[in-house]
Structure 1
């Protein structure tokens, strides 16, 4: 006598379901197949869903004025291959500082796109071209959600590190960026607050993380005060072409 198979499906327990590889738990790091670069800050890597800066997507950094951009991203930039493009940097980069940090100046380009439409066009083309990294500083005009989504989609078409620095007020605005953080330079370190990570379920108010400030970075604290004066005296310049591209050379 043979057994007749039952049409009733087997019931799995909750514990069995939670062990399935295709079950997303909100805070789980499964399905994080996106390539990432180590940040160079162990404490920060532990907080990031991909254990580093995700590539091929948009990272948004909200900050008050000129902050610790290079402290935060220098270790990752030294790992990338290809060009490193600085789009609308807030000040003229100091070539000798880049050399001391270990950068190859032949791979560094500075792009000035003063008008917002030119800025968006440059960002999307550079991100889609899969250059090693694009570090962009938002122009004075506010950037809309639609424009940010255009930047995100172009970054998704590429494989590079794409970062956009925005003013503190942008933290209150909606953004499609996959990773958003707030950075603030303090006397004893760089304070980082991760307030959005797509794919990560935020169960409570994000806690700030203080990254130690190396001794050679402490003089940069004065730039936060200088930035306000610079912003007040800087005049709007109407470009005669879409953007100017300048290779960074040692002086």
Structure 2
């Protein structure tokens, strides 16, 4: 029987472990392969682990005010099959803009959910139903980590694109979302900063990616400051239904 020094087994064991395919080492991007849909922007695709928006996951967008940042997802909406559901959009969708973008209005559903409780219920059920995409705007009440976790688990049960838009202040809050980014509409373009990706160890502060503004966005840029001021205005206190569906077909 050969004599083995005390250090040999532990050294060999460590080296063998590091060579295993199922050993994640922090900086490694193994085990991050998941279904994704291209963003439509090569520069943004290059910064995402699977070169696109992750499907069956919660994507969180923190934004200043309520601008047209959601249109960042237009190329993905065109590529995905199934329904596109908007939950609590900050303004009534303009049907002609969707038509010009190439989105069939028959695929589009708008859901108005009153209060955080009903917002979360709607979001969870829609994600589980595996519709093509759910784009939801967080209500005024702050969502807790536990509530966001429920949304993440529901998104994981589905196969579609699940996005929640939140105020920029929520960027400092811990979140279970698979992908988190900050979006800012500027005169130079749409600035996107990816500050969290599950499966990716970020070792330095992320630099913003500036995407060119599509022609239909440019008209909104001069009104950014006005929209931010009006965001804090008081809303109508009339009683609202718990949830309602708003048809877009026929609106101009």
TM-score under structure 1 length normalisation: 0.89
Kept in 2: contact 1:59–1:180 (CA 8 A): yes
Report the counterpart of residue 181 of structure 2 in structure 1. Answer: 181
Contact 2:114 2:241 in 1 (8 A): no
Return the alpha-carbon distance in structure 2 between the equivalents of residues 33 and 198 of structure 1: 11
1:91 — aligned with what? Answer: 91
Q: Distance in 1 between matches of 2:116 and 2:164?
A: 13
Separation in structure 2 between the aligned mates of residue 21 and residue 68 of structure 1, nearest angstrom: 42
Note if contact 1:66-1:223 (Cα within 8 Å) is conserved in structure 2.
no
- What secondary structure does 2:210 align onto? strand
Provide the secondary structure at the position in 1 that maps to 2:123.
helix
Map of 1:82-121 to 2, 5 A cutoff? 82-121=82-121
How big is the shift at 1:220?
1.8
Aligned partner of 1:55 in structure 2 is 55
Check the 8 A contact 1:130/1:160 in 2, yes or no: yes
Q: Deviations over 1:23-58 (max 9, x none)?
A: 334333322231000000111111111211001111
SS at match of 1:39: coil
**1:196 match: secondary structure:** strand
1:79 equivalent in alignment to 2:63: no
Indicate the residue corresponding to 2:245 in structure 1: 245
Determine if contact 1:124/1:151 at 8 Å carries over to the other structure. yes
Question: What is the CA-CA distance between 1:135 and the residue it aligns to?
Answer: 0.2
State the TM-score, normalized to the length of structure 2. 0.89
1: distance between equivalents of 2:234 and 2:88? Answer: 14
Relative distance call for 1:112 and 1:239 in structure 2 (3 A) is farther
**TM superposition shift of 1:231:** 2.5
Is 1:11 equivalent to 2:12 in the alignment? yes
2:33 maps to 1:33: yes
2-side partners of 1:121 and 1:216: how far apart?
33
Cα deviation for residue 18 of structure 1 reads: 5.6
Runs of 4+ that moved beyond 6 A: 4-10
Give 5+ residue unaligned stretches, structure 2: none
Q: Deviations over 1:43-88 (max 9, x none)?
A: 1111111211001111000000123424411000111111100000
What is the root-mean-square deviation in Å for CA atoms of aligned residues? 2.3
Structure 1 contact 67–183 (Cα < 8 Å) conserved = no
Match of 1:208 in 2: 208
Q: How many residues align?
A: 247
Contact 2:45–2:52 (CA under 8 A) maintained in structure 1: yes
> 1: CA distance between counterparts of 2:240 and 2:91?
20
Q: 1:208 to 1:241 in 2, by over 3 A?
A: same
For the residues of structure 2 that align with 1:32 and 1:242, how far apart are their CA atoms?
38
CA shift, 1:238, in A, is 5.3
Change over 3 Å in CA distance of 1:222–1:93 after alignment to 2:
farther
Q: How do residues 212-251 of structure 1 correspond to structure 2 at under 5 angstroms?
A: 212-237=212-237, 239-250=239-250, 251=252
